[in-house]
Structure 1
Amino acid sequence: MITNLNPQYVWGGDGITLDGTDLVWIDHVTTSLMGRQHIVLGNGASNRVTISNNFIDGRTSWSATCDGYHYWNLYFTGSNDLVTFKGNYVLHTSGRAPKVGGNTLLHAVNNYFYQSSGHLFEVGAGSKILAEGNVFQNAGQMVETSSLAGQIFTSPDSSTNQACSAYLGRTCQLNAYGSTTSYTGTTTSFFQYFSGKNIASAATASSVQSSVMGTAGYGKL
Structure 2
Amino acid sequence: MARLQFLFAAAVALVARSSTAITIGSPSGLATGTTGGGDAIPVYPKTTKELVALLRDPAPQVVILNTTFDFRKLEGNTTAEGCRPDYMRKCIALNNGFKGQDVILQDGGMENTGGCTNGVSVNVTYDNAPFNRLNVRSNKTIRGVGKSGVIMGKGLALNGDNIIVQNIHITEINPHLVWGGDAITIQGLTDGTVPLKQIWLDHIKISRIGRQFIAVDKAGASTMTISNSDFDGHTEFSKTCDGHHYWSFLLYGKYTGISMVNNYIHYLSGRLPKVGGTADSNVVTHIANNFYKDNSYHSMEIGTNAYVLAEGNYFVNTTKPLYDGDDPDVPGMTDGSIYAPLESSEDECTAQLGRLCEVNVLEDSGPFGSRNGTTALAKIKPHPTIARYTPKQAQQLKLSTGNFGVGDLE
Q: Is TM-score (shorter-chain normalized) higher than 0.5?
A: yes
Residue number in structure 1 paired with 2:376: 190
Residue number in structure 2 paired with 1:49: 224
CA distance in 1, matches of 2:354, 2:170: 36
Residue number in structure 2 paired with 1:117: 296
Q: Write the mapping of 1:83-102 to structure 2, written as runs, cut at 5 A.
A: 83-101=258-276, 102=281
What SS is found at the alignment partner of 2:209?
coil
Q: Write the mapping of 1:31-110 to structure 2, written as runs, cut at 5 A.
A: 31-101=206-276, 102-110=281-289
Tell me whether 1:166 sits opposite 2:351 in the alignment: yes
Q: Choose 5-14 or 122-131, whichever is displaced more.
A: 5-14
CA distance in 2, matches of 1:17, 1:168: 31
Q: Choose 5-14 or 120-129, whichever is displaced more.
A: 5-14
- Corresponding letter in the other structure for 2:362: Y
Deviation at 1:219, TM superposition (A): 8.6
- CA pair 174-29 structure 1, distance change in 2 beyond 3 A: same
Deviation at 1:201, TM superposition (A): 2.0
Q: Which has more helix, going by share of residues?
A: 2
Deviation at 1:44, TM superposition (A): 1.6
Q: Which runs of 5+ in 2 are unaligned?
A: 1-168, 189-195, 326-332
Question: Do the aligned residues in 2 keep the contact of 1:134 with 1:175 (CA within 8 Å)?
Answer: yes
Residue number in structure 1 paired with 2:314: 135
Partner deviation per Cα, 1:39-67 (whole Å, 9 max, x = no partner):
11112231111000110000111101111
Residue number in structure 1 paired with 2:393: 204
CA distance in 2, matches of 1:140, 1:44: 32
Question: Do the aligned residues in 2 keep the contact of 1:4 with 1:15 (CA within 8 Å)?
Answer: no
- CA pair 11-195 structure 1, distance change in 2 beyond 3 A: closer
- CA pair 218-13 structure 1, distance change in 2 beyond 3 A: farther
Partner deviation per Cα, 1:93-137 (whole Å, 9 max, x = no partner):
111111000211111000000011111101111110110000000
- Corresponding letter in the other structure for 1:177: L
TM-score, normalised relative to structure 1: 0.92
Which of the numbers 164, 180, 183 marks the counterpart of 1:15?
Answer: 183
- Corresponding letter in the other structure for 1:217: G
- CA pair 121-218 structure 1, distance change in 2 beyond 3 A: closer
CA distance in 2, matches of 1:145, 1:51: 25
Question: Do the aligned residues in 2 keep the contact of 1:88 with 1:216 (CA within 8 Å)?
Answer: no
- Corresponding letter in the other structure for 1:143: L
Count of residues in Structure 1 that have an aligned counterpart in Structure 2 = 217
- CA pair 27-91 structure 1, distance change in 2 beyond 3 A: same
Deviation at 1:196, TM superposition (A): 4.9
- CA pair 218-153 structure 1, distance change in 2 beyond 3 A: closer
Deviation at 1:34, TM superposition (A): 0.5
- CA pair 34-219 structure 1, distance change in 2 beyond 3 A: farther
Superposition RMSD on alpha carbons, in Å?
1.8
Tell me whether 1:6 sits opposite 2:164 in the alignment: no
Deviation at 1:220, TM superposition (A): 3.6
- CA pair 43-26 structure 1, distance change in 2 beyond 3 A: same
Larger radius of gyration: 2
What SS is found at the alignment partner of 1:17?
strand
Partner deviation per Cα, 1:129-152 (whole Å, 9 max, x = no partner):
110000000011111111411001
Question: Do the aligned residues in 2 keep the contact of 1:129 with 1:153 (CA within 8 Å)?
Answer: yes
Tell me whether 1:217 sits opposite 2:405 in the alignment: yes
What SS is found at the alignment partner of 1:185?
coil
Tell me whether 1:156 sits opposite 2:342 in the alignment: yes
CA distance in 1, matches of 2:377, 2:179: 38
TM-score, normalised relative to structure 2: 0.51
- Corresponding letter in the other structure for 1:209: Q
Q: Choose 83-92 or 186-195, whichever is displaced more.
A: 186-195
Residue number in structure 2 paired with 1:144: 323
Deviation at 1:195, TM superposition (A): 2.9
CA distance in 2, matches of 1:172, 1:124: 22
- CA pair 14-220 structure 1, distance change in 2 beyond 3 A: farther
